[in-house]
Every structure is written in C-alpha cells, then in structure tokens.
Structure 1
C-alpha cells in the first residue's frame, strides 16, 4: 500500500530533522558582556539555522582570560578587545589563524535621565553629579577606553573620586540604570534599540578619543574538531549575524 504524498513528506521531514539533531553539537562560548544582547539573538538564529546549540557565558574579557589560562572548558572566545585573543594565540590556546574582528564597539556616556547628558559630553566638566560609573579598565576594554577619554579631556584627576567601578560593562550599565550613578561610560549596544537610544540621554564618544575597540573572535584549542564551534565561527561572518550586530550600533 502506497503512502499518501503529504504523509510521506511529513515523515521525510521528521526523519531529516532527527538526522540533523543526531549530528548537532554544542559549543561553549565566552562572550564579552557588552555583546550580550546581540549574541543572544545570534545564538537563537544559529540554532534555528544549523541545529547546533551555543551555550553562552557573559562577563569581563580579563576574567575570561584568567579562566581560559586556568583550564576553563570554553571553546570560543568573543572578546571585547583584540589583544586578549592575540595573547592567547601566542600562548598556544587559540587555533592558529582563526582570529577575526567580529565587531568594532562604540563607547557612550549615558544617563538614564532624559536631557541629562548633552551631545558633546560637556556634563563631565560641569561636575553636576555625584557618581560616574566606569568598567574596571584592567579587565574591561570599554573601561580602558573610558579612562583614555577622560585623560584626553584632562579630567581624570578631577573625576576619579567620583568613580563607581563595575567589574564589567554589564555591571557598569546597572549602576547607571538603577540610579546608583547619575551617568557612566557604557557600550552603545547596551542602550540602543532599532538604531535609537532606548532610554535617557547619551553622548556618543568620537572614535578618535580612544583606541579602537576591536572585538575579536577566536576558536580556542578546546574547540578544535567541534562541528558546532567551527559552524559558529563561520556563522558570525555571515549576513544574518552581521545584520544583528549592526543593529546594535557596532561597525566592522
């Protein structure tokens, strides 16, 4: 007895899905905190398109470096800088020639209050605030960029007593969002939705006021031979991932 065409196609579809699932793998990814929102979207699209699952951990790049050198089982690093992946490659922990820049970050001075931060950052000179949040410059590249901006403005000594330091850029954002700091230096991706500042007021810091925040991806030696890791590295270079990345204010 011949199977009806519609049922045959349904059974074939289920069989193909089961086969794909059987070959799907999982990859453990260490993700810089500033890249949380875009990477969550990319991971969902990646799983839908490939069947592979990306298990994401978010945090400060400096902490991830320490964890990786101490044997943490991450297979891909999405760093907030380009120095850390390069250093790990020199130390033999990154697959040679796997590194590439997946995004260039943008630093903003942000307040949760409307009209509080002007479009040139002059509020920093007015001194009309109690606390200024920055990420730990020893661990977070966005924090380092913030210190470079203040150095360039000649305001470091004046503002330093007002610093509230976050362990990473996510915690720094929380300080400002909750009002524990009136303003702070955060990543544009944290406050941008559909090409606009979603809440409050911000000064987009000119790129020439700090070193470029080149964010590199690297395939770690622990991910060598993992099909999901290889697939994700390629997926990050594709149009769908790039579209998501660009929508959060990053450039390439």
Structure 2
C-alpha cells in the first residue's frame, strides 16, 4: 500500500509538472476546464465590476472547487500596488499603458506580454431629477445652469477619467467646465457621485450606465468614439502569482466566447488583436 501511495503521489506530481509546462508554451492556449481546486486573485478596473462578477460565477460553475476573488479599483492604484508586490494573480486594466509598464519592469509571468481583452465606451449620464435629456442636448447638456457639478474619474489614476477630459476638450467645453468637475477615485465612484446627487451629471463607463441601478435613475448618451482615444484594455499575468494555472485559466475564460458574450452585454467591444 505504501508503494502504491508513493507511485500515485509521484504520478500526480509529474502530471502537474507536465500541465504547467504545456501552459507555459503559450500565455493562454485553448480553453479547457481548470483541473484543480484553488483561489484566483484578480485585480480589475472598476468598470469591469458587473461583467466580471458574472464571468467569475460562470467560471466557478465550470471549474468546481476553484474560486475567484475579485478586487475592483482604479487601474493606476492597482499598478502601484502590484509594483509593491500585492498578491494578485492577474491584472485586468482599463488601458494598455499600465500593464505594459509592469511588463517592462519584469512583473509579467514567464515574460509574457500584456494581451488585449476589451475596448471600453464612454457615456454622458444625467439623473432624471435634473430634467435634462442628454440624448437631445448631448455634450451641450453640461453647460446647462442646472448642472453644478460634473463627476469624472480621476484622470491621473483612471483611463476613463482621461477619456472624459479628452471628450470635453474635443467638444470645446473643458475650460468652462473645469471648475465644476468632481473626481472619483475610480469610474465606479464617479458614477456613484452622479447617482447620489453629489453631481448632476457624470462622464462614466457604458458598462456602468446600462446597469439596472443607473437605468432606473437616469438616462445616458454615448459619446462618439472620435471624441477620445480608444479605451483599449489589456491584462497581464503576474510574476508574483501563487496560482499561475488558475490565472491562465481565468484569463482564457475572459477572452474566449463565454466571457466575450458577457462583456458584449455590457457594451464592451473587442480589439482585433485580442487573443482568440
């Protein structure tokens, strides 16, 4: 019995090593179910809160015994945390710059490059209580005297905040609006400012505007994509991971059809060079 137990133990050990080697040959590879119970620690931009909550549940259903722990925040804050060795397995940013910088600093698993997974969209959202129709008045809505404060994500930390500034500049209204801007630490907090009445309008992610909470409290107009640089979003498998197999498996799930369908429901597009 002792010999049999040892043999089985050795076989499991070598099978695990072989699986890790096969996964290492490609940053992602095909999308089999992840064999093994564990926790995957995911850092994700706050614009991904609702789609990633659904994606994580779907992933867990297909991978019994594996759980996904999601942390949401601004891409810039996560960048700093990961530089300081925060214990995340994979980082989903709302831009391509932060993951690229981390990769340059040697923070990517097996030196794998960042990979695109989505393209975001920016909208102008106004609560119903303000009495302004953003679909009718578009960016000019923001000049209405009824709008005392405009919420955006902090542009120094959040890609959607940078896109909001670009859009206001493109519309020729940024200088006039600048004194009225209030900054959320991330795009979810900016949406909350507008929803709560702390601001009378918000430039927020489409993925937040289409949630039931926001749809019942206001309306939105999608800002034309030529008003701001494309919000291409990439992820990075992290060298500090304690669960490389789980990180790869979750990333595969996000970038393949089941994950894509969920992302599409929240308005995300897909850059042509994303993984397939």
Deviation track 1:132-154 (CA, whole Å, cap 9, x = no partner) reads: 00110000000000000111122
Instruction: Confirm or deny that 1:154 pairs with 2:172.
Output: yes
Contact 1:38–1:245 (8 Å) recurs in 2: yes
**Map of 1:34 onto structure 2:** 47
Alignment of 1:180-219 (within 5 A): 180-193=198-211, 197-219=215-237
Tell me the TM-score normalized by structure 2.
0.79
**CA-CA distance at 1:224 after TM superposition:** 7.0
Determine the C-alpha separation between the residues in 1 that align with 2:70 and 2:236: 15
**Map of 2:15 onto structure 1:** none
State the superposition RMSD in angstroms. 2.1
Unaligned 5+ residue runs, structure 2?
1-32, 271-276
1:130 aligned counterpart, secondary structure? coil
Determine the C-alpha separation between the residues in 2 that align with 1:220 and 1:168: 22
Q: Which runs of 4+ in 1 moved over 6 A?
A: none
Q: Choose the corresponding residue for 2:126, options 104, 108, 111.
A: 111
**Map of 2:62 onto structure 1:** 49
Q: From the two aligned structures, give the one with the greater helix fraction.
A: 2
**Map of 1:72 onto structure 2:** 86
Q: Choose the corresponding residue for 1:86, options 88, 100, 114.
A: 100
Aligned length: 232
**CA-CA distance at 1:98 after TM superposition:** 4.4
Tell me the TM-score normalized by structure 1.
0.86
Contact 2:47–2:208 (8 Å) recurs in 1: yes
**Map of 1:7 onto structure 2:** none
Contact 2:85–2:240 (8 Å) recurs in 1: no
